[in-house]
Amino acid sequence: MKNKIIDSIGKIDDDMIESVDALRQSKNKRSKTKWIKWVAIAACFCLVAVGSINTLQRFDYLKGDGCSATPGTIVDGSYYYKVDHSGVWKYADGVNEKVLNTYWEDGGWLVNESGLYYSCDKNVYRMDLDTLERNKIFSTSEGTHIGFDLTQDGNVIVTVYDKNARYKYQVLVNGKDGGVIEQLTDKISYDSNTPLFTKLHYQVGERKIELVQAGGDERTPHYMPTENGVSLLPEGRWVSNYGYEHVDGVISFDVYQEGRETQEESEMLIAFADGKTILEPRYNNYSGAIGHILLYVDFNSTENFGSNGNGIWCYDTDSGEKWQLKIDSECEFYSFTNDNQMLYSCVPWSEEQTAWEIIYEGAKPVSLQLIDNNIIE
């Protein structure tokens, strides 16, 4: 029987063998092709999913705080502000224009007369306010993330952080053409209480104020604000390197003193760009200024609650007079920014931005006239 089987196999036609072999190879090929196809589909799905998550992150959709408005910045009469999931917009003379898409900005943005600056990954870019042309002024392969601040002379201070190697440092960068001018601080511990350059040096107008440590301990150091080496505070008082407010033309520091621990007993050191410096009892955090007049929302007063909601108050630091700005429309105030002509207000529970014109009687601001209830629309 074995011999007959072997003999029969030996007589099979070669064409039949080749056709069967071709059929077998075809089946294997189709099986392999089908496997490759499904792997490719799965890979594409993963790429789409990852890309979608990245896109949602870049457009702020994965934030946990939802949509809310924050005050923008006024530069040469134009108001620059951020709209969640959209980008940075410019409002001027009743016209809105998007100048920067959220996708290209993931680490914050700032604007001044020198340009609009924003960071993406570990890069800092500058956009020209007139042409909207942009150029990269800083890039690093070090660290895990960066932050930046603007100086009044057109440069940028970049902070490089590394949360893995646990260090941080600051460099001064040319704000127009790019390039590191100098390293402002050496690498210090990521968790160190030692303040960086930007927490010790401040500028308002042409005035430069430096905080010099004068007592305290490593955990709660006391600092003396100085100008040209001269202290701005009487002996026995000090400031911290965190409690300060800074708006156009004015900067102030929370002042501390032994035995004064409550807010009602605390004081503020207020320095104006024109050289005026005063020590005042603390009342409210101001959000704006017109010359020596400070503007603020008084949340503690019952006078400004009513049909108009929270009102905006003025405090003349020359005369000591306080008054509330009248408004021609019902509105509740929380945060705002202003120049001498316009005031823009917003609240954190809404994405609306409201535009007001400041009305004067002589040199005194007396009321706000509604221009646009929501400039975003």
Look at 54-68, 83-97, 246-260 and tell me which has the smallest mean pLDDT.
54-68
Which of 170-174, 267-271, 276-280 holds the top average pLDDT?
A: 170-174
Give yes or no for a contact between 179 and 169, defined as CB atoms under 8 angstroms apart.
no
Domain that residue 224 falls in: 200-282
Determine the pLDDT at residue 328. Answer: 83
Asked whether residue 138 is assigned to any structural domain, the reply reads no
Asked if residue 58 has pLDDT above 70, the reply is no
Asked whether residue 363 is assigned to any structural domain, the reply reads no
Query: Residues 303, 307, 309, 313: is their CA dihedral positive or negative?
Result: negative
Can you read off the two tokens belonging to residue 163?
């949360």
Asked whether residue 45 is assigned to any structural domain, the reply reads yes
Determine the pLDDT at residue 283. Answer: 64
Between 260 and 363, residue with greater pLDDT: 363
Report the C-alpha gap between 328 and 304 in whole angstroms: 14
Asked whether residue 330 is assigned to any structural domain, the reply reads no
Query: Domain ends where: 231, 263, 282?
Result: 282
Asked whether residue 369 is assigned to any structural domain, the reply reads no
Asked whether residue 296 is assigned to any structural domain, the reply reads no
162: region left, alpha or beta (phi > 0 left; psi from -120 to 50 alpha): beta
Total domains, the chain: 2
Query: Domain ends where: 238, 260, 282?
Result: 282
Report the C-alpha gap between 26 and 137 in whole angstroms: 59
Determine the pLDDT at residue 59. Answer: 44
Query: Domain ends where: 235, 266, 282?
Result: 282
Asked if residue 78 has pLDDT above 50, the reply is yes
Average pLDDT, the chain: 83
Between 172 and 66, residue with greater pLDDT: 172
Tally the C-alpha atoms within 13 A of residue 103's C-alpha that lie toward its C-beta.
7
Between 113 and 46, residue with greater pLDDT: 113
